[in-house]
Structure 1
Amino acid sequence: IQRSPAVVVRSQTLMDVGFDIYSEAALARGITADTADMIVASIPFALFADQQRVLYRIIRDRDAGFYARLAASGFQLDFGEDDTGLMMKALRTASGYYIDVGASELIARGDIGVIAGHGVTGLTRDGLTLSDGRQVQADVIVACTGYQSMHETVAGIVSRQAADAIGHSWGLGSGVRGDPGPWQGEIRNMWKPTAVDALWFHGGNLALSRFYSRFVALQLKAGMEGIATPVWGRPGPVERAAP
């Protein structure tokens, strides 16, 4: 049951076209993982969308046959509201994308069936009910719900007051659905002091975590040594409330 469209990119295509800077060939040219991380981080997010739009035109041309077969199976594809693809979805909303390692090929050739465009309204003893009234039988139901909101996680662990003081976490403020403005120019509330003292967010994939963990550590050490590390755009700190 596919509840909403998704960006799908083959893993090998993504490595060949999008992440070749992390390849063995790049390493042979002297581009280490640390160097690649710095190069990627040096691209302003304001320029990243245009770069990704060009990249996904190449990907769609390269794998046109794959996408045609996947769409013919009934799977709902998209490439983002502005055709910027997987990485911009990841940075903006952390949702609506899949790096294919084989499942999409099973869908394309009919080994895995797809029902798209209808939500689930209820469960029955032997399956579930769709929004169009259809009954679908199932032995096992697995809810693939993706990532949960960091904002709501804070509400559950710390308090609603703390969560509301911090506000939305993750996203760029691009104005697309799920990433409300205003434009931030950086990932919202990540790797820097937040509106709640001593509460930090550290999200992202391995590359982001590898690169930005050092700056989190440096800021924490600076705080312990009494060295100020002012942060652009940080609201006035509030006292952390009890859970």
Structure 2
Amino acid sequence: MLHYDEIRRRELEDPQPSVIIVGAGQCGLSVAARLKYLGVKSLVIDRFERVGDNWRKRYGSLALHDTLYSQALPYMPWPETFPEFIPAGKLANWLEHYVESLELNVWVRSQVIADRTYFDEREGKWHVTIDRDGQERAFVVDQVVIATGLCNKAKLPKPFPGQEKFAPGIIHSTQHSGGAEWKGKNVLVVGTGSSGHDISLDLSNYGANVTILQRSPTYIITIKNGIVKTLNGNLMVQGVNLDYADRITEAMPKPVTKAVLQRLVPKIAELDKDLLEGLERAGFQTYLGPDGAGSLFLSMERGGGFYFESGASQRIADGLVKVKNGEVDHFTEDSVVFKDGSSIKPDLVIFCTGYTGFKESVSETLGEEYGDQLKKIWGLDSEGEINGLYRDCGLPNAYFMSGALAINRPYSKLLALQIVAQQLGKFGPRYSIEESRKTDNYVDLSELIYH
């Protein structure tokens, strides 16, 4: 009789999946867990050396801005000893522990070979070739799930005039390893989303002279007043049944959610009045989000443009992180010159300018042909549903999975159920807005969502 370690070794070496999941972050692992407990075999692959490296390899001060009560993965609640706001490194280790505890089949140091991967229309199956640490392995599977997330490859703006002559360093936020080496140095941080704030705070903590460049207003909300006291309410708190909380949260139609937020967001701003007024005095521009609805619709439309205050905003209000409004015009050998004619001489410029899009991720993973077939991903359609995620993404027998921990927990279940239904031949035709509009009982809600 085989012992446990040998059984697991054989499962990992010869997984025989019917679903390939690309990406072993929280999204890919949630789907893998859901599928396992629905009786579907999957294989998760990831290019990093260890599960969790997508969090572990980022700057050391990074932590979740949402309380852990809303962030649990399926089937495994956090230990009661965990901190309320989980550091990135601890989350990385937890993801690794999650894989081991739930016995998920994950291959690290692995990636899809795009030019040897294709969907066979006649068979209705994907032929996927994987390079696992230099060894190739071919699979024929029913479905592919792309779980490479919002943060694919670093996106830098088009080079500015003179940028190639600029002697000091220029990096993207993904290359920031920590602020320790910049003590006493002048650093320009370009961008005022979460990464821009987090990195500015990290640099300031180590004694760097930080200037943050702001191009447009940013929605700022404090965690204590906005998240814990108001938005979490009685749902995302310690001891609440998360399955119940998810059903309540996700059952709310987006127009209704928006109307609720338009009432709550000004109340939160009143609670945050001292901070917001301090930011205004410092020259930092804030607003209440699109249509006064805060961060949720910013997240769904842009994937950013807001910051949950965890120290950086107060540092700006206190004048310890300087603010510059405007845009870069050009570089000289030692300066950054702005469009208003002013300039700064930084020792380092950090572009916190986001990541490439979903099309690029699919093109890199499956090939240009499939990148071109991809429908719009992220943002809301005219019915208030997220485009292309957890449902038809334009690719045959393929799904795109993305989102923060709290959103991928309920939607991983819906995605897994669709895969099971497809494999059982019970899925049927997909719902279509275009077809539904032809019926007499269709109501267009887009005006309620966007105005």
* TM-score with structure 1 setting the length: 0.83
Structure 2 residue corresponding to 1:112, chosen from 302, 306, 321: 321
Q: How many Å separate the matches in 1 of 2:386 and 2:348?
A: 37
Distance 1:76 1:126, change over 3 A: same
1:214 match: 413
Which amino acid in the other structure matches residue 11 of structure 1? Answer: I
Q: How many Å separate the matches in 2 of 1:198 and 1:129?
A: 50
Which amino acid in the other structure matches residue 229 of structure 2? Answer: D
2:216 is equivalent to residue 4 of structure 1: yes
2:404 is equivalent to residue 205 of structure 1: yes
Structure 1 residue corresponding to 2:236, chosen from 4, 22, 37: 22
Structure 2 unaligned residues grouped into runs of 5+: 1-212, 435-451
Structure 2 residue corresponding to 1:51, chosen from 252, 260, 264: 260
Give the CA deviation at 1:161.
4.7
Q: Higher strand proportion, which one?
A: 2
Q: How many Å separate the matches in 1 of 2:419 and 2:302?
A: 27
CA contact (8 A) 2:266 2:288 kept: no
Provide the secondary structure at the position in 2 that maps to 1:142. strand
Q: How many Å separate the matches in 1 of 2:406 and 2:380?
A: 18
Provide the secondary structure at the position in 1 that maps to 2:386. coil
Deviates more, 1:213-222 or 1:226-235: 226-235
Provide the secondary structure at the position in 2 that maps to 1:154. helix
Distance 1:61 1:198, change over 3 A: same
CA contact (8 A) 1:127 1:139 kept: no
Which amino acid in the other structure matches residue 424 of structure 2? Answer: E
Give the CA deviation at 1:132.
2.0
Distance 1:170 1:150, change over 3 A: same
Give the CA deviation at 1:185.
2.5
Which amino acid in the other structure matches residue 70 of structure 1? Answer: L
Structure 2 residue corresponding to 1:133, chosen from 320, 341, 346: 341
Q: How many Å separate the matches in 1 of 2:259 and 2:218?
A: 20
Q: How many Å separate the matches in 1 of 2:419 and 2:256?
A: 30
Percent identity between the two aligned chains: 27
Deviations 1:188-215 (A, max 9, x none): 1110122211331111111111111111
Give the CA deviation at 1:42.
0.8
1:241 match: none
1:32 match: 241
Q: How many Å separate the matches in 2 of 1:220 and 1:9?
A: 38
Q: How many Å separate the matches in 2 of 1:221 and 1:121?
A: 53
Provide the secondary structure at the position in 1 that maps to 2:331. strand
CA contact (8 A) 1:95 1:147 kept: no
Structure 1 unaligned residues grouped into runs of 5+: 174-182, 236-243
Q: How many Å separate the matches in 1 of 2:292 and 2:361?
A: 30
Structure 2 residue corresponding to 1:194, chosen from 385, 393, 397: 393
Which amino acid in the other structure matches residue 212 of structure 1? Answer: Y
CA contact (8 A) 1:17 1:59 kept: yes
Deviations 1:6-35 (A, max 9, x none): 1011112222101132112xx3xxx32221
* TM-score with structure 2 setting the length: 0.46
Q: How many Å separate the matches in 2 of 1:99 and 1:199?
A: 34
Q: How does 1:135-154 map to 2 (within 5 A)?
A: 135-154=343-362
Deviates more, 1:38-47 or 1:223-232: 223-232
Q: How many Å separate the matches in 1 of 2:355 and 2:413?
A: 24
Deviates more, 1:63-72 or 1:126-135: 126-135
Larger RCO (CA under 8 A, 6+ residues apart): 2
Deviations 1:187-242 (A, max 9, x none): 1111012221133111111111111111111222222233324321289xxxxxxx
Q: How many Å separate the matches in 1 of 2:311 and 2:370?
A: 41
Q: How many Å separate the matches in 2 of 1:44 and 1:170?
A: 17
Structure number with bigger Rg: 2
Q: How many Å separate the matches in 2 of 1:34 and 1:122?
A: 52
Q: How many Å separate the matches in 2 of 1:112 and 1:99?
A: 17
